Structure 1
Amino acid sequence: MFPFFCYDGVHSQDDPNSTQTDNLILVRENKSWDEALSFCRKHYRDLVSAPTEQVQHWVNRRAQNASTPHVWLGLNYSCKLHFWFWLDGTIIGAEKEARECGGKGAIQSGEEQSWVVLHETEKLNFICSKSVGD
């Protein structure tokens, strides 16, 4: 499990399939982690990386509006190097064991919003990040 914080960001709805706040897009389509990654890279920039408390706050708010019990994030585990990292390259911690191999990072969409490791083939909503100015 990883630490998580709350942020009360500005909320607007631009699209019936997504909720947009700042540069974060909650996509309410059910996709595997790899499918979500491809979708985000094609339509926006990437699956969201949340290396700072501020971004974690916004991710928390977006995840509350998901239609699945968990939401994919751009959090990945390196089985060879035994650490978690965000897709933006930020390393968030070493692990003592590699039981997370094949797992990807997600957050619960309910009020508790714990960070969890799920198998990459599960079909979930996901959060994309977009470039500022897009």
Structure 2
Amino acid sequence: MKTTLTVLLIIQLYGLASCAIKQHYFIDQKKTWYDAQQYCRTNYHDLSTFIDEIEEQQFLQEAVSQTSNAWIGLNKSSGTWKWATGEVTTQISWDTAYDQPNDDDCGLLYKSTKKMHDAECRSVFFFICMNVSEFVMVQQSESWEGALEYCRHHHDDLASLSSSRSMTDALSKITGAQTQYVWIGLRFLAGGWFWISGDDLILNVWSSAGPPQCPAQNQRCAALDKNTQTWTPRDCEEKLNLMCVIQ
């Protein structure tokens, strides 16, 4: 089972400053730290990291679904604590009530206190993986299907705005759109609206009180309205700019 924790972060990724979104997944399999990292790097981006106080607080605010102590992307090399993505740590919220840290080399998030503990890397715990993504505003007009094809060919997918933080990032990019409405990865099919990424449709930023329950046949694709900053159903054949995601 994966529990999605979505966090908007200003990060430095591969040496390039960019506005990106970290999406975190609680993995209910028990592994050593190194096996957990290998799993995350194979199936996601890496073990989860939050490299400054802002990132940490944003992560912890949404870590309420964590069901057990869990490895994160923090370990000690040659006496120095580093993040799995390579950054040397500048601040760690150790669980001092439990006399942390001790003398071990890998870090985990303690469920009850939401503070950091160290543990032997060969110990087995559940763990939290992350994906990293960035939105791209495309000033090219396509139908919804054309937008989907374009994003999947040139980037990764149409953008899914499944959290308030991803909405904030999208709104910062949409100012460059040449059309009032911009295609996003939200579609009505088989009686319901869904994100093509598979994310849960929890956030409600519809232009009406909620998602249209039975939209007209030609109003079954959703776009982000640059003026009202809401989602609105549009004709899937309408030619609009599009918001892609790079993962």
Q: What's the TM-score, normalizing by structure 2?
A: 0.41
Residue of structure 2 in register with 1:48 after alignment: 159
- The DSSP-based 3-state class of the residue aligned with 1:92 is coil
Greater RCO structure (CA 8 Å; 6+ sep): 1
> How far apart in 1 are the matches of 2:196 and 2:213?
21
Could you tell me which runs of 5 or more consecutive residues in structure 1 were left unpaired when the two chains were aligned: 1-6, 11-19
- The DSSP-based 3-state class of the residue aligned with 2:182 is strand
Can you list the C-alpha shifts for 1:61-97, whole angstroms capped at 9, x where unaligned?
A: 112220001000000112x2x2211111124269674
Residue of structure 1 in register with 2:225 after alignment: 108
> How far apart in 2 are the matches of 1:72 and 1:63?
11
Pair 1:37-2:148 in alignment? yes
Could you tell me which runs of 5 or more consecutive residues in structure 2 were left unpaired when the two chains were aligned: 1-7, 12-17, 21-133, 203-209
Contact residue 83 and residue 92 of structure 1 kept, 8 A: no
Structure with higher Rg: it is 2
Residue of structure 2 in register with 1:121 after alignment: 237
Can you list the C-alpha shifts for 1:35-76, whole angstroms capped at 9, x where unaligned?
A: 110010001100001111111111111122200010000001
Residue of structure 1 in register with 2:175 after alignment: 64
Residues 90 and 42 of structure 1: CA distance in aligned 2, closer, same or farther (over 3 Å) = same
> How far apart in 2 are the matches of 1:96 and 1:31?
23
Q: Percent identity?
A: 26
Can you list the C-alpha shifts for 1:75-121, whole angstroms capped at 9, x where unaligned?
A: 0112x2x22111111242696742254411101122x2221100110
Q: What's the TM-score, normalizing by structure 1?
A: 0.73
Count of aligned pairs: 112
Contact residue 77 and residue 100 of structure 1 kept, 8 A: no
Residues 121 and 61 of structure 1: CA distance in aligned 2, closer, same or farther (over 3 Å) = same
> How far apart in 1 are the matches of 2:235 and 2:222?
9
Q: Which of 188, 195, 198 is the matching residue for 1:89? A: 198
